Structure 1
């Protein structure tokens, strides 16, 4: 396990470069993001450990970052002052572009993985905005009418995007649909709808809605997403059956889940980062089928649904863990995590997984 200290700055987001397996970026904030400036670190993984190749200081906190999918040296930063900045790590410390349209903190940025010529941002102001890095203003604004902690383009379709919000809904937008009164909204799934009861099992327990903080698209199943947030539960949904409720529910974290990420290598594996100071690896149960083991697990914990389970945890962080990301290259286990303990850690998930 490798680690690096972001001294004086608390980590919020960590992302591997899509071009280099030895380069990661960390968005961080002074004073836990409550007040003060931010710093975007560009870190290199070397034979001598993790080294800071470059960093960019900003006037306000940074909450998320996203590498360009079309230019290996360009990277976005989401700021607490409502701005989005684009940096080029081969150039000087100033951003090469900056956009200021959001009225509140920008909490997520995400590059279009398919078209590669657009990116999105989501904000506490209740909107998602679509951008082209060569345009001075946003291309489209999508209202969610709720604090939007996480938004993403689908990795399978260039015009489809998703978001989770403080009102506990998973929203799906399709930019190909008419921009009528629905503003491209095609689905709005209440996250806290209980799963449908299975034959021979008691009805699943309902939980009051709470804020959804993070979500991610499955990289192999184009209709499956996972969500998580304040209620500590990870849920997976199939948007082909939006009224069916979650297809899997994964309990275990002791505090809010701040970040989840599906594996880029295995269709049933996902990672989570939580305020309980742990990162955990899970299977959603889709690779095992649903049989006797599923029933036994439900008897032990009535919140378990879908046959998924925790496969291991990493507990080396000493404060809230806020970011986690998989390496796209090489063996399927390497990942990075960051947290409020000023630590960035690079580690192998396979080392913590049980049998």
Structure 2
């Protein structure tokens, strides 16, 4: 199924965690460089995708996240540094707004466990923690680097993670004393050195030099596994218990930067990616395969299971449906299109 968001280039898409036929898209005019944003709410019907409601904003919408408390509410991160809370029962305007960041808000995420807080991250080098019932942020976590992606762990209400332009995965645990570390418990370099191979090995010249990390996601079944991706096109998975050994798996195949990744809610080894090469790809990290040991020094080479190449511009958002058939997903892109499709259909073609 397809819907054209005419005049607005897609940036983020998310299925409702409450209703399998509801989906939202955050978009921006003029590719997010200048102009308004728009938040769409859609119903998936037998007649196709139907726009039920939309809101215009003064600046681009770069990311969205459904509330885990209220099926009618959603937060949006905007280019003017604001985070806005919308309620579909209230027409025209957001019901709350936070202006805590002084640069673009590039990611928002809801707490999946306690369901009473959410976070945002920004190009200003900070992560902010909020309650939807409080007018100011509850906490600021510094990253000191442009922060493109932030998430709560789906296994703990107290663990927040981020990836940044300095090529690091940061993990914060709010149960720890703040002290000088600001709750930081792991600082993981995403681009490690290549394994030592022969006399030509040079630790000062790694195979993959550091580049900006744009996206990451927590595995829904393995509580210490995180996937990261970004400008260098490679998706890496890490076991944070053994991160000093580097990535546990490399998933290689995209031709340009990977903008968004999402672990499957249905399978522990499967994830979905969206890239500037105009494709969405389905992968297995193969960590469920016998004889591949987490923490080993040599990363597993993950397998591409299939790809969808219908989009004609940068693909910037992708999400899995939590309900029904275990392959339904959605993608949005700069080609002004929302596509709803079945990942199993592209997997069968390979």
The answer to whether residue 310 in structure 2 is matched with residue 316 in structure 1 is: yes
Could you tell me which residue of structure 1 aligns to residue 209 of structure 2?
A: 208
Given that 2:252 and 2:302 are in contact with CA atoms closer than 8 Å, whether structure 1 keeps it comes out as no
The answer to whether residue 264 in structure 2 is matched with residue 270 in structure 1 is: no
For residue 268 of structure 2, give the secondary structure of its aligned residue in structure 1: coil
Deviation for aligned residue 1:93: 1.3
CA distance in 2, matches of 1:344, 1:43: 10
Given that 1:290 and 1:307 are in contact with CA atoms closer than 8 Å, whether structure 2 keeps it comes out as no
Q: Specify every segment of 5 or more residues in structure 1 that has no aligned partner in the other structure, as ranges.
A: 292-303
Which of 324, 333, 338 aligns to 1:344? It is: 338
For residue 347 of structure 2, give the secondary structure of its aligned residue in structure 1: coil
Given that 1:67 and 1:75 are in contact with CA atoms closer than 8 Å, whether structure 2 keeps it comes out as yes
- Aligned length in residues: 340
Could you tell me which residue of structure 1 aligns to residue 66 of structure 2?
A: 67
Could you tell me which residue of structure 1 aligns to residue 284 of structure 2?
A: 283
Give runs of aligned pairs for residues 117-136 of structure 1, distance below 5 A.
117-136=116-135
CA distance in 2, matches of 1:26, 1:203: 46
CA distance in 2, matches of 1:287, 1:49: 37
Deviation for aligned residue 1:254: 0.2
Moved over 4 A (4+): 195-198, 202-205
For residue 189 of structure 1, give the secondary structure of its aligned residue in structure 2: strand
- Once structures 1 and 2 are overlaid, which stretch shifts more, 61-70 or 305-314? 305-314
Could you tell me which residue of structure 2 aligns to residue 187 of structure 1?
A: 186
Deviation for aligned residue 1:92: 1.1
Given the superposition, is the C-alpha separation of residues 196 and 247 from structure 1 closer, same or farther in structure 2, using an over 3 Å criterion?
farther
CA distance in 1, matches of 2:143, 2:195: 27
Deviation for aligned residue 1:194: 3.4
Deviation for aligned residue 1:91: 1.4
Deviation for aligned residue 1:290: 4.8
CA distance in 1, matches of 2:194, 2:303: 16
Deviation track 1:22-56 (CA, whole Å, cap 9, x = no partner) reads 00100000000000000000011000000100000
Deviation track 1:100-157 (CA, whole Å, cap 9, x = no partner) reads 0100000000000001000000000000000000001000000000000000000000
Could you tell me which residue of structure 2 aligns to residue 227 of structure 1?
A: 228
Given the superposition, is the C-alpha separation of residues 19 and 203 from structure 1 closer, same or farther in structure 2, using an over 3 Å criterion?
farther
Deviation for aligned residue 1:203: 10
Given that 1:195 and 1:246 are in contact with CA atoms closer than 8 Å, whether structure 2 keeps it comes out as no
CA distance in 2, matches of 1:177, 1:195: 33
Deviation for aligned residue 1:206: 2.3
Given that 2:120 and 2:127 are in contact with CA atoms closer than 8 Å, whether structure 1 keeps it comes out as yes
Deviation for aligned residue 1:287: 2.1
**TM-score in terms of structure 1 length:** 0.93
The answer to whether residue 347 in structure 2 is matched with residue 353 in structure 1 is: yes
CA distance in 1, matches of 2:193, 2:250: 10
Deviation track 1:252-273 (CA, whole Å, cap 9, x = no partner) reads 0000000000000000000000
The answer to whether residue 325 in structure 2 is matched with residue 326 in structure 1 is: no
Deviation track 1:320-350 (CA, whole Å, cap 9, x = no partner) reads 0000000000111000000000000000000
Given that 1:15 and 1:325 are in contact with CA atoms closer than 8 Å, whether structure 2 keeps it comes out as yes
Could you tell me which residue of structure 1 aligns to residue 53 of structure 2?
A: 54
Deviation for aligned residue 1:80: 0.1
The answer to whether residue 52 in structure 2 is matched with residue 37 in structure 1 is: no
Given the superposition, is the C-alpha separation of residues 203 and 260 from structure 1 closer, same or farther in structure 2, using an over 3 Å criterion?
farther
For residue 241 of structure 1, give the secondary structure of its aligned residue in structure 2: helix
For residue 352 of structure 1, give the secondary structure of its aligned residue in structure 2: helix
- Once structures 1 and 2 are overlaid, which stretch shifts more, 187-196 or 218-227? 187-196
Could you tell me which residue of structure 2 aligns to residue 254 of structure 1?
A: 255
Given that 1:195 and 1:245 are in contact with CA atoms closer than 8 Å, whether structure 2 keeps it comes out as no
Deviation for aligned residue 1:207: 1.0
CA distance in 1, matches of 2:324, 2:167: 36
